[in-house]
Structure 1
């Protein structure tokens, strides 16, 4: 039997909703009451639960605006649950075991690198120097220390100049995305309130 899943009414004044995200893919097996999609209305974001168990066929795309009562997906309730659904879970711990061995070997290599440093103080700012560097938004790694053992002194911090590598002016990267129904309604109300004031 093919069940048609329709958009339920989230409220009496709401006539349409927008499919925000599908939580399942086309052809997936879904359980009864499993959340299959998130829908946006003028007032809230709601989860759409599956009415029956079966294989789902999506009839709307993410971002589509659909009327309340419209069919958004079909669920084939006669389809059998896939037998291999429990097998991947059993194999997962075996796959993780080799990774754990690699992680155990990694700390052994770290002590060999430690003697290469000239001094424990190299590149470390004094408390006064750290405060000055923080105020200037300069990373201690970019300042060469002239103090004992390569320590960054207060004078080094005072004389440090921020890197010119990152431009402060110019246009920033901008991105335009479609507003959700809730955000559109809020923006509409804010503009009307501003105009009425």
Structure 2
């Protein structure tokens, strides 16, 4: 049984017994539903619809009306204005990056000495882990994943924070949570530069040291 199904069962059980429903149950269910949409539904829709819909040269909105245990309904509207009362969540997968495989350098047999990062916040909070990638990840989680994503940092042609797994660097992407992935295919020096960019963009005043 999936985690989402367990949550559904707990929610239904609470309703049947008229028990108070913890907000975190609904929040977790929403996050897992959005993750399924990002990882499984949207890629299929993009792959199947884009080649055909490209023939149409006017803007339109496709509305997928899904009600459990009922036939799926898809409606078309040429209006792009939604009422303020309508709850809309835009989940757009990052486009696939076309890498020039011939230009990708393979790792050299000679490895440089291991280095690490120490990041100090204005309030004195210090983040330092055994591996630089873990320090980068913890800094991003503390600052806010979506705030960092909005900065638009790119590594190896891939967004630093992406909602898709890259076909070349996927093994170097760390699953953060909620469908977000952090690319860690970079040197300690590059990770330091990434943290410094985050600090500058968000005015965090971070002190970043290579150890």
TM-score (norm 1): 0.18
More helix by share: 2
Bigger Rg, which one: 1
TM-score (norm 2): 0.17
